[in-house]
Structure 1
Amino acid sequence: MRILNGTGVFGGIAFGRLSFYKRNEQKIRRYHVEDTRAELRRFEKAKQTAATQLETLYEKALKEVGETQAMIFQIHQMMLEDPDYCESVQNIINTQQVNAEFAVGTTEDNFRQMFSAMEDSYMRARAADVKDVSDRVLGILADTDSAAQTYDEPVIVAADDLAPSETVQLDKNKVLAFVTMFGSQNSHTAILSRTRNIPTIIGLGDDLKEEYDGKMAIVDGFAGRLYIEPDEDTFAAMKQKQKREEEQHALLLQLKGLENVTLDGRKIHVYANIGNTGDVGAVLQNDADGIGLFRSEFLYLESKDYPTEKEQFKAYKTVAENMAGKKVVIRTLDIGADKQIGYFGLPREENPAMGYRAIRICLDRPKVFKTQLRALYRASAYGNLAIMFPMIVSVQEVRRIKTLVEEVKTELRKEGIPFWDGVELGIMIETPAAAVMSDVLAGEVDFFSIGTNDLTQYTLAIDRQNRKLDSFYDPHHPAVLRLIRYVVESAHKAGIWVGVCGELGADLSLTETFLAMGIDELSVSPSYVLPLRKKIRETDVGKALERDAAEG
């Protein structure tokens, strides 16, 4: 028996045979061409075919894993149309009079080297995307089979790493687990595997050898451990662990319909995060109290032009009606950084994570912003809607937002269009500036929602997408928790409620800490609602506070 240790990115136990992912390796040959125009046409045709394939992948991912995780395929579509990328291919064909395959391969190498050498970690991560896109175009030019690998039986898929397109194309009914040599906990593929509930281990390194192909194995996604040709004792122990996991899941289902209340009577709301209207079923199925984060940008990402007020109104109205009076907190447009939309014409930036994004775009383009606000207020007549605004850093921004809101309400009144005047307005606390100024900001809004993902990376100055920094990225860092505590105190002094909608909300090791801080609401992925409810119902906040006081 061999035991390999890596990092588990989604828990679960899986038994089966290892099957190494087989790719059609592209052997690029350089040859002279006389008709460069014909070669340019071949490249353009391959691009169009690739774009069609990526659109199909986007639609598939949208249904299976939601809008947020599906966005990578829209990013890949935009990379296909990147002027610098296309001009490089075209220039090589024209000046060197060579075949399109060689031009694409050379451009891929050049761009990967360029991205890999950049200081900005977000841009470095784009090197893998350039390879994924280029390999797709090369496969089309070579007329090789680009269909997803198929399996006769469910297997544990092994690979050096998997591109998002490879992960999504696989038949999930034939995938028991993923194990890879490389990868990051915050990579697109890791996020996709978590969303699809597939046990996954990354970072196994060179110990994961192709010679293990076809051998029986056990994946322990909880411990990040891969057992190859396990002995009888290990097999029995893992079967018992799997049984306990299944029993635990059955117990969770018994929590449906119960309150989120601690042993000492403290009640807290448990809401769900969603990426599109299709996720509402999962919210209801998992018995969430409401929706704490509805990412409205999916409407823009799915559209080829700015979505109209009518289109947005229909989507918001549908969610509000389906939630039947339960609170629905909708975040206004949050694009920029890795969420690029072609028709917005956003500039290329050196540091997009801290650039022209989210509320900055909305305030800079009030016509676009007011269209969304009108749709939101119109939908408020059909349910319990609340609106929150992302990436706030100052009181001035909030006041400008409130001025635009009042303009929208005045317009709707004049037009005789009904809306609910009691819509709560809140802001996301995801920048250190907002956290430090939360005592002042609390006087301007009805609630706070703490976005712990961005708050952590901005506070620690660490890009959570950069796998080289995984060992430094610490969401439990005392500085992060101090900021959260201060935000809660500021909110309660002003008489407003405060929630957490980032990934830390689902971190059960912090649930007791959040309850002791006085957090009023936790919003998590729908599948985490019941585990979080169980943890809350097992917690005694009073004893936790007494223990904290005793420890000083």
Structure 2
Amino acid sequence: MTPSAGVGSRAMLRRLRQVMAEPGDGQQRLDKITQVIATNMVAEVCSIYLRREPGMLELFATEGLRKDAVHKAALRIGEGLVGRIAERATPIATDNAPAAPGFQYLPETGEEVYRSFCGVPIQRLGKVLGVLVVQNTTQRTYDEDEVDALEVVAMVIAEMAESGALSAGREIERGKRGPLTARGVSAADGAAVGHVHLHDPRIAIANPIVDDVPRERERLRGAMVALQGEVDRLLDTDLLKGGGEHRDVLETYRMFAHDKGWLRRLDEAVASGVVAEVAVERVQSAARARMDRVADPYLRERLHDLDDLANRLLRLLTGAEATPPPEDAILVARSIGPAELLELAGRVRGVVMEEGSAGGHAAIVARALGVPMIVQAHGVVAEAENGDRAIVDGDEGVAHFRPDATVLDAFGERLALEAETQALYRSLRDLPAQTRDGVCVSLMMNAGLATDMPSLAESGAEGVGLYRTELMFMVRATMPGRDAQEAVYRRILDEAAGRRVVFRTLDIGSDKILPYMRRTEEDNPAMGWRALRFGLDRPRLMTMQLQALLRGAAGRPLSVMFPFVTTLEEFRKARALLLRERDRQAARGRPAPERLEIGAMLETPAMAHAPDAFFREADFISVGGNDLKQFFFAADRGNERVRRRYDTLSPPYLAFLKRIVGRCAENGASLSFCGESAGRPIEALALAAIGFRAFSMRPSAIGMVKRALRAVDLSEAEALVAAAVAGGDPTARPALTRYAQDCGVSI
């Protein structure tokens, strides 16, 4: 912000403070505010639109337009220039409003004579409460300083509106709500019942206008120093002393707490004439508006961290202690940083967020703490209220707020039943997954974090069928070096205690982006430059990872799997790189793996038809069911409109998978199935019936799959699948479901 902008906004704010001190009701204050802004901006019109009904903006006050239009004229969110400002949470300034895209005037206001237009959102903590507009009849270019000054004033109006000082006898889009079911994405498994605890601070600011700018800057800097100290101390807690991915996350978080650019933006906001709390909220709102427009998952995660830091800074500035959550808290937040969640360890039963991702920083910490989490549950912050009863179903990615008695009772029964079922699964933990007719199936678990490894013993998994090495790369601010990678791989094998671990090499691209590498824009990233294609084009990066894997094995057996293999030549190149590094390590006196297995993920239909040499040269093949299914059916697995339209148990897909089983058997390649389908009892039964004898799945699914397999006769299931394929049935699911239920398997 330039000095002139700060001076201009401070002049308006001083006059607004006088208005707020004068007697009068909310409507009188609003009317005077529009007069002050119009005079200071040399504008013929100043209008304030506030959200009234859901999705509607109502004209609450105006200077220059027809007074009889107040509380009558209204626009929908997204309608006209005013509606577009509210929808996008960004200013619009033009010297020719009638020619601007989306222009629509309200004839009852008499605004058709005004050509110039400048509007800014009235927002607080990312929530748009309304729109502030100035207009002129002549063509006028509103410069950056004027727009900035108007934004500062809009921020103060937002504080007044939230405090109820501008109610004008009319409520702003509120009201008691009934039961709500919110659907999102599961980021951490589990289920919980409790009461809502809203994460975002609700801070009332009595006087948003600053008297002494230098003194306010010092107060801001003091709070920043305290914030940085808090984060530094957090890294010394017992949970983080042992290292791991969640410590890496907090190191990145600390870097943002010390970011000079963030402090500079806060300083500029204070210079505009508002107190430090409003300055923090202004910068925070701007970050949230950017967050809504950013598609890049890494950048969104950074904005989440800044959002969490801003919340902590607000509490330090006000001197208010964060309201402690109840003992059965369901934390509801737009976003939450890893530090905040870590501090609440042991006091939160579940988390529901509007933002975030399953691979995000908060999700990593949630899994480390064993707390069920749902992300991308849009609109929950506005809908939930402190103290609301809530249910979090992390397995299904669904949250219920203010559930009626029938839903609550049903979920309580489900939790009780699950507790009994889990006890049954634990009793099967040390037993083999052997069917009634004597067929043994190997059940392994998927992992990607050091914090996942305790599940190996708890679940009864025979090993780790898929260790996603890319997660270590994704949670760090910089590329992990060879030594850092080696330490992680060594630790994973140590914790596996002799059980087999299959390390998948770096699988990035598509929806998995490294923060320190330039993103390549692609029309169809799932079928683009990713996984092994990326690794072969970046041989130094791939070589460093292979060296770290060999060193981490320290002479023990090592299994390495290459992702997204699409040709025999690609597999041969990758295999040659690994064998070359093994020989180099041995030549330098480092111990070679006792046994080195080199495998491939079969994720594209093309590889089902690969030359026999592929199946002979690969020590093992793992069918990547998630990707293979989306390519087989041409259905994007991230698109809810299409991904559920196609069934894993459809005869064409089962016949296709059976062909892969046959090719592996003919050429002596070990075969497993990895993906969501492996962790579902009916799907696992069908896959076993067509010849799969090894599965890798999430740890929590192993017990239910083992119980289902031990209850059935595989030859009978095989006959049902064969009949469905031969008979042209749309899916084998109904027949297998009936059979499983007859065998006593709970579905």
TM-score, length of structure 1 as denominator length:
0.74
> Is residue 201 of structure 2 the alignment partner of residue 19 of structure 1?
no
Aligned equivalent of 1:386, options 544, 559, 565: 559
Amino acid at match of 2:291: R
How many angstroms does 1:424 deviate by?
A: 1.1
How many positions carry a matched residue from both structures? 530
Aligned pair partner of 2:640 in 448, 466, 470 = 470
Aligned ranges for residues 104-183 of structure 1 at < 5 Å? 104-105=283-284, 107-108=286-287, 111-112=290-291, 114-115=293-294, 122-123=295-296, 130=303, 133-134=306-307, 136-137=309-310, 140=313, 143-144=316-317, 150-157=324-331, 159=332, 161-163=334-336, 165=338, 168-169=341-342, 171-178=344-351
- The amino acid of 1:175's aligned partner reads V
Aligned partner of 1:429 in structure 2 is: 602
Shift of 1:386: 0.8
Higher Cα radius of gyration: 2
1:450 and 2:623 correspond? yes
- Structure 2 residue matching 1:472: 3-state secondary structure: helix
After TM superposition, give the deviation of residue 371 of structure 1 in Å.
3.3
CA distance, structure 2, for counterparts of residue 498 and residue 550 of structure 1: 24
| 1:251 equivalent in structure 2 | 424
Task: Identify the residue that residue 496 of structure 2 maps to in structure 1.
Answer: 323
Describe the shift of the 1:225–1:49 C-alpha distance in structure 2 as closer, same or farther (beyond 3 A). closer
CA 4–139 in structure 1, closer or farther in 2 if over 3 Å, else same: closer
Distance 2:506 2:225 in 1: 33
Q: Provide, for residues 32-81 of structure 1, a one-character-per-residue CA deviation record: whole Å limited to 9, x for no partner.
A: 9999xx89x969978994995799599969989x84x8887788789899
**Identity across aligned pairs (percent)?**
25
Which amino acid in the other structure matches residue 130 of structure 1?
Answer: L
Tell me, yes or no, if structure 1 residue 350 matches structure 2 residue 521.
yes
SS in 2 for 1:403: helix
Could you tell me how far apart the structure 2 residues matched to 1:215 and 1:141 are? 25
| Letter of the 1:111 counterpart | R
Taking the aligned partners of 2:252 and 2:630, their CA distance within structure 1 comes to 22
For 2:262 and 2:526, locate their aligned partners in 1 and report how far apart those are by CA, in whole Å: 25
Alignment of 1:134-533 (within 5 A): 134=307, 136-137=309-310, 140=313, 143-144=316-317, 150-157=324-331, 159=332, 161-163=334-336, 165=338, 168-169=341-342, 171-178=344-351, 198=371, 209-210=383-384, 213-214=386-387, 226=400, 228=402, 239-297=412-470, 300=473, 307=480, 309=482, 311-336=484-509, 341=514, 345-351=516-522, 357-380=530-553, 382-420=555-593, 422-434=595-607, 437=610, 441-456=614-629, 469-474=639-644, 476=647, 478=650, 484-533=657-706
Q: Structure 1 residues 149, 301: closer, same or farther in 2, change over 3 A?
A: farther
Counterpart of 1:330 in 2: which secondary structure?
Answer: strand
Q: Please give the per-residue CA displacement for 1:232-286, whole angstroms capped at 9, x wherever unaligned.
A: x877665544332222111111112211111222211111222244543321232
Report how far residue 143 of structure 1 moved: 4.1
Q: Deviations over 1:446-488 (max 9, x none)?
A: 11223334445556666656xxx43433374558666644443
With over 3 angstroms needed to count, the CA separation of the structure-2 counterparts of 1:368 and 1:127, relative to structure 1, is closer
* Aligned amino acid, residue 325 of structure 2: Y
Which amino acid in the other structure matches residue 108 of structure 1? Answer: A
Q: What secondary structure does 1:269 align onto?
A: strand
Q: What is the deviation of 1:311?
A: 4.9
1:138-197 deviation line (CA, Å, top 9, x unaligned): 75378447986522422344x3655464883463533344567x6799685778767755
CA 1:357–1:542 in 2, change beyond 3 Å: closer, same or farther?
same
SS of equivalent residue, structure 2 residue 502: strand
- SS of residue in 1 equivalent to 2:593: coil
Distance 1:413 1:473, change over 3 A: same
One-letter amino acid of the counterpart of residue 392, structure 1: V
The 8 Å contact of residues 249 and 476 in structure 2, kept in 1 or not, is answered as no
Q: Say if 1:515 and 1:541, in contact at 8 Å, map to a contact too.
A: yes
Q: Is the 8 A contact 2:661 2:671 kept in 1?
A: yes
* Aligned match of 2:155: none
Distance apart, 1:514 and its partner CA: 1.5
Q: Distance in 2 between matches of 1:175 and 1:62?
A: 22
3-state SS of 1:393 partner: coil
The whole-number CA distance in structure 2 between the counterparts of 1:372 and 1:93 is: 45
Contact 2:201 2:315 in 1 (8 A): no
Distance in 1 separating the partners of 2:308 and 2:440: 52
Secondary structure of 2:560's partner?
strand
Q: Which amino acid aligns with 1:366?
A: P
Displacement of 1:295 = 2.8
Number of the residue aligned with 1:119: none
Rounded Cα–Cα distance in structure 2 between residues aligned with 1:531 and 1:411: 45
Give the 3-state SS of the residue equivalent to 1:396 in structure 2.
helix
Contact persistence 1:497–1:520 (CA under 8 A) = no
Q: 1:311 to 1:183 in 2, by over 3 A?
A: closer
Q: Distance in 2 between matches of 1:105 and 1:208?
A: 17
**Structure 2 CA distance, aligned partners of 1:150 and 1:507?**
39
* In structure 2, distance between residues paired with 1:142 and 1:239: 36
Question: What is the DSSP-based 3-state SS (H/G/I as helix, E as strand, rest coil) of the residue aligned with 2:722?
Answer: helix
Unaligned runs of 5+ residues in structure 2 are 1-176, 727-747
Tell me by how many angstroms 1:21 deviates: 0.9
Amino acid at match of 2:538: R
| Alignment partner, residue 118 of structure 1 | none
If asked which structure has higher relative contact order (CA below 8 Å, sep 6+), I would say: 1
Q: Give distance in 2, aligned partners of 1:184 and 1:208.
A: 17
Question: For residue 464 of structure 2, what is the amino acid of its counterpart?
Answer: I
Choose 72-81 or 480-489, whichever is displaced more: 72-81
- Contact residue 218 and residue 230 of structure 1 kept, 8 A: no
Q: Secondary structure at the match of 1:392?
A: coil
SS at match of 1:320: helix
**Change in CA separation of 1:78 and 1:111 when aligned onto 2, cut-off 3 Å:** farther
SS at match of 2:546: helix
Distance across 1 between alignment mates of 2:196 and 2:290: 31
